[in-house]
Chain A
Amino acid sequence: MEETQETDTTSLISDINDIVIHDPVVSKSVTENDPEPSSSEQGSSYEILFDQLKENNKHIFVLSTAGKPIYTRFGNENQMASLFGLMIALVSVTQDSNDTLQSICCGQTRIVFLNKDPIILVGVSQSSEPNDQIKKQLTYVYNNIISTLTLTQLKKIFHNRTNFDLRRLMSGSERLIDKLILFTENDPGFLLDSISCLQMPSSSRDKITQTILTQCSKIKNLVFGLLIAQKHVISIVRMKKYSLHVSDIHLILNLINSTESFKTAETWTPICLPTFDSSGYMHAHISYLAEDCQACLVLLTIDHNLFFALSDAKRKITEKMRCNDCLHEINEAIIRQPVSLARANITGLRHLLYKNKNRSQHWCPPFTSPYNTNALQQNLMSVYSSLISQMNFPGRTLKVIFQQLTAETMLAWVTDDVELYMSFEPLVSKECATNAVTKLTQWMKKEEDSLFIFNIPMF
């Protein structure tokens, strides 16, 4: 009854093997067939291009160390040859003196370089974003490339042919990178290195986890199991001694949330988790639980022959969950209004980010008044972003920041277990702000069971 659906990724992989090992000519012909704009067109398009470079807030460029374009967020990378040439020159001159180019600052503009031989990533931000955050974005983009190719493959490709045009293998994943960059710009999880969990009573969550665990523990070579609802994680199970890193989970979340086809059919796809193991593929069985329950189950294994076993396991999990009412509880949790900060009833507090450091999980309540517009929310996020980077600045980490700005008063508070970033009304008193921390900590004690996943069982 199930049918294996080959995804872009799988076909990509076979492409790699074809090209690198059997037929290097194919890629060559592709490169040569690239449409070359005529010289008159080129002049005007250059002007447009360079206007674009100044306009867009965040550029990301990826190129090979040989100067071949791989990815650009805006515009057409074919027109950026001269720009890419300059990037390569800057990187290699620095390398010649045994050093690594990191960043350029120019007024509000920040240009950050990430040299991951055989590819180079360059990020440009026009809003004086902290350098380390741009660097992290570049690392995410790099990881996404690794997740489709593996580092071993990537190195092999460029070892065999330094001039290789990687775009040939990237055709499916450019869209993923676009989405991933959006994720890094909007999601507090990226800033906090943490995941967001679907809020539900801990008893329901335990029941779900137990159901998954019972099925998974029977399967040899299954390493991780994840249940995801949109941007939130419902449950995680894992093999003894192994754990899933936050940045790998972010990649999985991005893959699932950017691929509509997963909703219609179960999928069997190789994926490399760069932080877990950048050298090899894992195989992911991805499927939504049921037509009437839009939670996505991801089962990760190292055994590429396990499709039918996993498919079977998934069917049993869904059946079991239908019987013990889990599907219903998940649906309720998905449609339920997320818990609002107003429930904590803290005077002057407008919004916050709360991170449980031990669990690498965060809670970001829905935006309420006065953060009604997208622009205001974006603005608050960039205030958070700057606070987070100040708190964690290498060489001088901080414990508390209390900042009175024109539109709001911000408090950042870090202890061994918790990172807390709060936005208050502008004229809040220091006393009030300190009390808010205490009050919130107490309130979180009651609520955190439903906001965070405390039980990540092993098998």
Chain B
Amino acid sequence: MPTEVTVQNLYIFNSTLSKTEDDGAKKILFYYPEHEDENKKVLNIGHIEAVICFARNFNANESCESLRTEKSLQVLYNAEPDFWIVITVSAECKSKQKSSESPDEPVYCTYNLQEPIYLAVLKHWYHTFQMAVGSMTKLMNDNDPDYLRLMLNKFYSKYLQNTDVSSHTFMDMFQGISFLPLDNAIHLNAQSFLNIIENTFQQVHFTMLLYNDSLVWSGLNKRQTQLVYSYILMWVLPEIAKKDNLVKGNSLQQCLANQLVGRFITNVWAVKTDSWISDLGKVPIFRLNDENDETFKSYRLVMYKAHHSIVCMFIKMENPLTADLYNTLDQFLGTKLHLLSEKMKNTVEKTLASKLYTERPAKFVYFNGMNLAIKNSIKHSNTAATTNRPSEFNLSPDALRVLVDISSQQSYMHPTYSVMIKTSNDNWVAGRLCNSREIYIVLNQKLTKLYDVDSEIQSLCAQEFGTIFFYD
């Protein structure tokens, strides 16, 4: 039965901001939908506060994670002490025949709503916010609650507008990074190219290289790489696809008339942007830290695209972004990046062609918690990092939900774990976990014997992950 998921609301609050019963509205830091009745907002938050307080009687060490009612699921994320982010989703069954007794009464199927999916969204958005703006506690202490409200509103409104959380599935839980598979020589080539940039331009503190939507190399730590990577996937790549925007709405073109090979990407949306000279367009600002340094510093992100590759350069705030700098960067990067990108293209195509593969009626997701790498045949990357051609069958929502069940069981139950499941429509779903590597497979074959299923999975793994060891 098709399920229609709706996001009822998403709100952020801090109970310590309200001192008396009458100023309940003060604890609201962000509320979507914005035009909700003010009393209703306060009431909803009050309700959740009561739930949190009630749950503490039974578990003082872990914070409250979710609340289920007949019609909805609320997922809570205690991002910072006293700061709570809450999302409410509801699900209706869209059956063809309505029940005869009450034809207009909607049928709810909240059992199809799964906490881990929404918790992953809340966490990912919060971490992105933290990277772009900072921690809520610090923002509030350094400025005032209103400044925090402004920032949260800017960020969350945009993300809610741009993301359809109601359509999120298993695939949206990981926010993993798709790495470009390269041979050693070309990989070193790419790395040395980035090193040269950092050495030649003292302003550039970190670098990162993408080929299409795959990551080639990043100088940031893995969490930050993941956040910047997903930012680029969400805001930069779609803009580029629209073509006109590389130098949209500014006179960068005029200032840098000789950008022949490559282009700077500016004026992409970010919660915090900065323009050194307005003519040169705005660039995003992120707060990053070195691995051996706890303190966060702000960096301007300058992106340069040539051929299919984008190089990201994080430039310290104290260094001016002048037309001169842009010009020297352009001259330095243009041809080099283009050549490197072509080389990468060749190797990717060669490896794809040389690999023999059999078409399998199977889909898989591989996620490595150590480097946050993801490889899958469900959502297609245009780099085609997998050898598995898109097969014809679509994953059923049920199969995806079973995958969520598997992954949430894995995470708290066992360090190594393997499971094979036959669903009610005779698909096989399998999951394996070993050394923080996770693999999920859905087979669309009518197999009856466990060992047939197992050997099918074995050969799929051998084809796709020949070099990765899995506990069997």
Q: Do A405 and B59 contact each other (CB < 8 Å), given the known contacts A102-B68, A430-B451?
A: no
- Contact between B55 and A404 (Cβ–Cβ < 8 Å)? no
A87 adjacent to chain B (CB < 8 Å): yes
Residue of A59, A83, A90, A406 near B51 (CB, 8 A) is A90
Once the chains are docked, how many angstroms separate the CA of A131 from the CA of B69? Answer: 12
Q: Do A401 and B423 contact each other (CB < 8 Å), given the known contacts A53-B58, A86-B54, A99-B69?
A: no
Q: Do A395 and B109 contact each other (CB < 8 Å), given the known contacts A86-B50, A402-B450?
A: yes
Once the chains are docked, how many angstroms separate the CA of A59 from the CA of B401? Answer: 30
Residue of A53, A396, A402 near B401 (CB, 8 A) is A396
Residues of A within 8 A of B63 (CB): 106-107
Taking the closest CB of chain A, its distance from the CB of B438, in whole angstroms, is: 15
- Contact between B422 and A53 (Cβ–Cβ < 8 Å)? no
- Contact between A404 and B51 (Cβ–Cβ < 8 Å)? no
B157 adjacent to chain A (CB < 8 Å): no
Contact code string B447-471 (vs A, CB < 8 Å = 1, else 0):
0011101100000000000000000
- Contact between A398 and B402 (Cβ–Cβ < 8 Å)? yes
B53 adjacent to chain A (CB < 8 Å): yes
**Count of chain A residues with a beta carbon within 8 Å of a chain B beta carbon:** 48
A443 adjacent to chain B (CB < 8 Å): no
B426 adjacent to chain A (CB < 8 Å): yes
Chain B residues 40-60 with CB under 8 Å of chain A are 43, 47, 50-51, 53-55, 57-60
Residue of B51, B57, B449 near A434 (CB, 8 A) is B449
Once the chains are docked, how many angstroms separate the CA of A399 from the CA of B424? Answer: 6
Which of A105, A124, A433 lies at the interface centre, i.e. has the most chain B CB atoms within 10 A of its CB? A105
Chain A residues 47-64 with CB under 8 Å of chain B are 50, 53-54, 59
- Contact between A107 and B61 (Cβ–Cβ < 8 Å)? yes
A353 adjacent to chain B (CB < 8 Å): no
- Contact between B67 and A434 (Cβ–Cβ < 8 Å)? no
Looking across the interface, which residue of chain B has its beta carbon closest to that of A437?
B450
Once the chains are docked, how many angstroms separate the CA of A89 from the CA of B54? Answer: 10
Residue of B62, B67, B71, B416 near A107 (CB, 8 A) is B62
- Contact between B50 and A89 (Cβ–Cβ < 8 Å)? yes
Chain B residues 92-120 with CB under 8 Å of chain A are 109-112, 115
**How many residue pairs bridge A and B at CB < 8 Å?**
141
A111 adjacent to chain B (CB < 8 Å): yes
Looking across the interface, which residue of chain B has its beta carbon closest to that of A383?
B413
Contact code string A84-118 (vs B, CB < 8 Å = 1, else 0):
00110110011000011111111111010000000
- Contact between A429 and B412 (Cβ–Cβ < 8 Å)? no
- Contact between A398 and B421 (Cβ–Cβ < 8 Å)? yes
Residue of B51, B449, B451 near A104 (CB, 8 A) is B51
Residues of A within 8 A of B43 (CB): 93
- Contact between B58 and A106 (Cβ–Cβ < 8 Å)? yes
A379 adjacent to chain B (CB < 8 Å): no
Once the chains are docked, how many angstroms separate the CA of A17 from the CA of B330? Answer: 94
Chain A residues 368-400 with CB under 8 Å of chain B are 386, 390, 393-400
- Contact between B53 and A94 (Cβ–Cβ < 8 Å)? no
Taking the closest CB of chain B, its distance from the CB of A196, in whole angstroms, is: 28
A403 adjacent to chain B (CB < 8 Å): yes
Once the chains are docked, how many angstroms separate the CA of A121 from the CA of B454? Answer: 45
Looking across the interface, which residue of chain A has its beta carbon closest to that of B454?
A430
Residue of A90, A111, A400, A405 near B420 (CB, 8 A) is A400
B355 adjacent to chain A (CB < 8 Å): no
A431 adjacent to chain B (CB < 8 Å): yes
B65 adjacent to chain A (CB < 8 Å): yes
Taking the closest CB of chain A, its distance from the CB of B340, in whole angstroms, is: 44
Taking the closest CB of chain A, its distance from the CB of B335, in whole angstroms, is: 54
A126 adjacent to chain B (CB < 8 Å): yes
- Residues of chain B whose beta carbon lies under 8 Å from any beta carbon of chain A: 1, 43, 47, 50-51, 53-55, 57-72, 109-112, 115, 398, 401-402, 405, 409, 412-424, 426, 449-451, 453-454
Query: Can you identify 24 A-B contacts, CB atoms within 8 angstroms?
Result: A54-B58, A86-B50, A100-B69, A104-B51, A104-B66, A104-B68, A105-B68, A106-B55, A108-B59, A109-B55, A109-B59, A124-B58, A128-B412, A393-B111, A395-B109, A395-B111, A396-B398, A396-B402, A398-B422, A398-B424, A402-B420, A405-B417, A429-B451, A431-B451
6 additional A-B pairs beyond A54-B58, A405-B413, beta carbons within 8 Å, are A53-B57, A106-B65, A107-B65, A405-B414, A430-B451, A430-B453
- Residues of chain A whose beta carbon lies under 8 Å from any beta carbon of chain B: 50, 53-54, 59, 83, 86-87, 89-90, 93-94, 99-109, 111, 124, 126, 128, 131, 386, 390, 393-406, 429-431, 433-434
